[in-house]
């Protein structure tokens, strides 16, 4: 029985929602393993749109178990609001189909405030965070002062843990001339919602072991993209967690041998939200066209995404870093109207040709893309379900892309609709 990890191979927003939804129908268990409520997945099922932020995509399907792993940081109020919202659309969320890791760390109001304070103070040096407190919450986790789900069980313990974390945060707030954060009201607010959170709490590592012995199919659902990984992305313009496939193991409590196939979701062009290097960005009419046709606005924040040509160098690199076995190519139909299409196959750094993204941000900002040009197909690919029915120029682009990145394409998405997919290989059935 195969278990699959799904990751984004670019800067996120690759269209993971549709692919994860399709896979979750075949899975028994769906697990989120990193990130927070800054990354969203949009699902459209039977004409109903679901915008998920923390809840795994499996939650919208009956007889599936959805889990939030220890690698995720949870805003408990945002989670309860999301549960309320999805229940209003007829979806059941209860202790039989939803589990939260007792080891998951919480995002608290002072994390959100610190996120805003830092971004506002950074000026031109801002990272472009979603201001939801994800980064500061991960900092507290690594600093060993975080509040975890299990800490909500005891008022005495919660009081001690809040004392510790606020000692740190209030020192910084004082230094920045901000009002200190009061403990008592926050403790009262947390204790009020504690029963609603704790009823879902379990040792997830133990449940995964149980599911494996029961031969259940597990889908590990990643958020964002590998180029936002805190170790392997365009640092410091990255997220605060590891977005690579190996994080599926550490973010849930299982060994890497629990993951049998890594699927990289890959857009047929490139987008990025927020600040940071973007070698193939198009600040022209073509970039605007891609953004308009691709509806490139964030699910959670509605922020406009920057658009550019497909960067084969970057995707080839993320495939190696994350051990991707196959890619799901999305949004091919967005390119339908273009006269010419380009793919980055090399970089120029100060007159020297290189075939990888350098680690230093100053070099990342300097590199110039070297392109391979393709004639456009100037006809609709929307809704096509067989690769042989694609225009010849589209097939040429796809096969060249596949050959360049060195990994097989397992599926091609030809519209936002769930069934408009060319399936070449089902990861669950290999």
Confidence of residue 409 (pLDDT cuts 50, 70, 90): very high
Q: Which of 37, 41, 169, 232 is catalytic?
A: 41
Report whether pLDDT(37) > 70.
Answer: yes
Nearest by Cα to 20 from 47, 60, 48, 49: 60
**pLDDT above 70 coverage of the chain, percent:** 96
Residue 120 has pLDDT above 90, yes or no: no
- Buried-state track 337-364, b at ≥16 Cβ within 10 A, e below 16: ebeebbbbbbbeeeeeeeeebeeeeeeb
Residue tagged active-site, from 13, 21, 75, 229: 13
Q: How confident is the model at residue 43 (pLDDT cuts 50, 70, 90)?
A: confident
Tell how many helices (H) and how many strands (E) occur in the chain. Answer: 12, 20
Strands (E), 89-192: 98-101, 105-106
- pLDDT number for residue 38: 74
Whether the pLDDT of residue 49 is over 90: the answer is: no
What does the pLDDT average to over 114-135? 75
Region 364-375: mean pLDDT is 98
Q: What residue ranges in 182-249 does DSSP mark as E strands?
A: 201-202, 218-221
Q: How far apart are CA 307 and CA 373, in angstroms?
A: 17
Residue 196 confidence class, pLDDT cut points 50, 70, 90:
very high
The pLDDT mean for the chain works out to 93
Higher pLDDT, 250 or 118: 250
Whether 105 contacts 147, CB under 8 Å: yes
Residue 129 has pLDDT above 80, yes or no: no
DSSP-derived 3-state class of residue 113:
helix
- pLDDT in the model for residue 417: 80
200-221 tens-digit pLDDT: 999 999 999 999 999 999 999 9
Enumerate the β-bridge partners of residue 98: 66
User: What's the pLDDT at 418?
Assistant: 77
What DSSP assignment string belongs to 312-341? HHHHHHHHHHHT--EEEEE-GGGGTT-SEE
Taking only the tens place, the pLDDT of each residue in 140-183 is: 999 999 999 999 999 999 999 999 999 999 999 999 889 999 99
Question: Which 8-state DSSP code applies to residue 104?
Answer: P
- Residue whose pair of structure tokens reads 């007829």 in the numeric block: 90
Question: Per mean pLDDT, which range of 18-22, 156-160, 202-206, 365-369 is the poorest?
Answer: 18-22
pLDDT at residue 123, as a whole number: 64
Per cent of the chain over pLDDT 90 is 82
Rounded CA-CA distance 264/245 in Å is 9
Query: Active site includes 41?
Result: yes
- Res 299: pLDDT: 58
What is the pLDDT, as a whole number, of residue 252? 98
Q: For the segment 215-256, what is each residue's pLDDT rounded down to a tens digit?
A: 999 999 998 999 999 999 999 999 999 999 999 999 999 999
Q: Which regions of 137-286 does DSSP assign to beta strands (E)?
A: 201-202, 218-221, 261-267, 270-272
pLDDT at 424: 95
282-316 pLDDT, tens digit each:
999 999 999 999 999 865 566 789 999 999 999 99
């Amino acid at each position: 029985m195969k278990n699959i990890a799904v990751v984004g191979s670019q800067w996120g927003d690759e269209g993971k929602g549709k692919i994860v939804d399709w896979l979750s129908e075949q899975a028994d268990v769906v697990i989120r393993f990193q990130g927070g409520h800054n990354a969203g997945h949009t699902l459209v099922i039977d004409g109903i749109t679901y915008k998920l932020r923390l809840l795994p995509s499996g939650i919208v399907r009956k007889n599936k178990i959805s889990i939030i792993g220890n690698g995720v940081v949870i805003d408990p109020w945002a989670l309860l609001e999301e549960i309320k919202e999805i229940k209003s659309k007829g979806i059941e969320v209860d202790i039989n189909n939803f589990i939260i890791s007792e080891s998951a760390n919480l995002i608290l109001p002072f994390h959100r405030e610190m996120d805003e304070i830092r971004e506002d103070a950074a000026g031109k040096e801002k990272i472009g965070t979603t201001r939801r407190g994800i980064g500061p919450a991960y900092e507290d986790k690594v600093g060993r002062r975080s509040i975890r789900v299990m800490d909500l069980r005891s008022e005495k313990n919660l009081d001690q843990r809040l004392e510790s974390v606020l000692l740190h945060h209030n020192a910084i707030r004082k230094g920045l001339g901000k009002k200190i954060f009061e403990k008592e009201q926050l403790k009262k607010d947390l204790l009020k919602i504690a029963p609603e959170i704790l009823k879902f709490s379990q040792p997830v590592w133990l449940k995964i072991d149980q599911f494996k012995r029961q031969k259940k199919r597990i889908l590990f659902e990643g958020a964002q993209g590998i180029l936002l990984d805190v170790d392997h992305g365009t640092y410091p313009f990255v997220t605060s967690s590891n977005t690579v496939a190996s994080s599926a193991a550490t973010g849930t409590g299982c060994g890497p041998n629990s993951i049998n196939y890594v699927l990289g979701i890959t857009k047929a062009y490139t987008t990025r939200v927020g600040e940071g290097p973007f070698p193939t960005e198009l600040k022209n009419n073509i970039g605007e066209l891609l953004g308009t046709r691709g509806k490139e606005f964030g699910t959670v924040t509605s922020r406009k995404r920057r658009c550019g040509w497909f960067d084969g160098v970057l995707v080839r690199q993320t495939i190696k870093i994350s051990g991707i076995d196959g890619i799901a190519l999305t949004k091919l139909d967005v390119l339908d109207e273009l006269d010419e299409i380009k793919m980055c196959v090399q970089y120029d750094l100060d007159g020297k040709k290189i075939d990888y993204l350098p680690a230093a941000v100053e070099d990342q900002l300097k590199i110039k893309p070297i392109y391979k040009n393709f004639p456009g197909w100037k006809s609709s690919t929307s809704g096509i379900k067989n690769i042989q029915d694609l225009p010849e120029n589209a097939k040429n682009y796809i096969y060249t892309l596949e050959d360049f990145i060195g990994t097989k394409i397992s599926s091609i998405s030809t519209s936002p609709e769930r069934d408009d997919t060319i399936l070449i290989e089902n990861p669950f059935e290999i």
